[in-house]
Structure 1
């Protein structure tokens, strides 16, 4: 009865010795235990990976390319331009009041699209794809509606990070000499975005909604008129998509436009918040 126990003990000792002998070939960080979070090389590597978060292996880039391809689809341009026109009119009419409904609807549609993307990757039938899309839209829409303030924290963090990344070329160039500086810049952008979309949301939307609504309305109307057959030098071509027309109006693409166009809106909202007497309604009521 002792021989099996002795055999198991000898096997365990041999395995421990084998693992110990192989530990020499492990990376230095694994040999010495948990990595040092204040290691400059570790901070530099982390920032370099964040700088390349749009690599081909990123699922965000895969979703983005699929959405971009759908927005540029010629057969969908009337539907896309009409949706942009309705959203632009809502933002221009009363952006702060309608923001919750528009944001909930937008996230529900995004969830339905993501569910369709994954369902098609699994080669499901059309009925199953439609069922999964509806389920994802209802669940995400309900969660966003009842947890709206929490969703604004996530939105602000993502927008703040995107804005900091769009204006972070200079800080990424300094990251080699000051490891962690780019990471600190991204964190500051996320914190500022959270503050904007929570405590300062109504003032920012009051200034941002007319600008964004005007962009959506003008690009949508131009696309629809060109699709109707009108030819003018200042309208997009009938072969161009709504997304191309919007990018032409912006003059910039990517996160740089988010940062550069959002900065004057932030300044306007800040100046407007200093004194209520600057607002016409307050003067009329007085």
Structure 2
């Protein structure tokens, strides 16, 4: 590769000699030109990185910048090298970042974006690539902040602050179930936790309130069921009384008819007439009379 004339790479880097290359921000970077046409960068935060012939930089950790001069991390953060800025998934820009030798990025407030997508915070805390806040020894608020909700959920942005969704906070060894709002200032690195929810100021957890409400609802349902069963039982009892009354009337009627038939039998017996033979005779007479009426009707026609 020529050393007497400037060679401009597609990403804006300009090789001015075998030992020096000018970066996007016009900073002079020490380098070594490799036999295959690539350029090994030596200082200014690029230690161990390789400038490829297509103008893309492959960092020591293996990350390769995009065609637009940016690097996308696993957590959705995007490093825009040309502007020395990082764009967060929520659209917030952080300016004035510095690239480090291992491909990580340092923010003005001391945050460090690691190459695995994790975010090392000030005060000894670290956000992993999924946004979970991990406890790291040495933080001055070590006992007040525990596991937070992950960044993959929608988080709101306001001014320079990121507002995490409702999440759970661990205070020492106690896991507090109240809903809290966590605000992380991306400039100062300060983090604040505020209790959130309808019963936040009453000292009750929302789970406890929900439990009490459920118990009250169950008691009301039980009262309604008991009342309905009592009314249903009274109705069944009334129906049973009506049925028994009908059966009693029918039985009394049968007994009365049986008594009358017995009296008739006794009277016929005193006259020397058999009740059964009398019934048969009346039956035959009825049939004969019926036949006679039929014959008369036929003769009339």
TM-score by length of 1: 0.20
The structure carrying a bigger strand percent of its residues is: 2
Q: Which has the higher contact order (CA 8 A, sep 6+)?
A: 1
TM-score by length of 2: 0.20
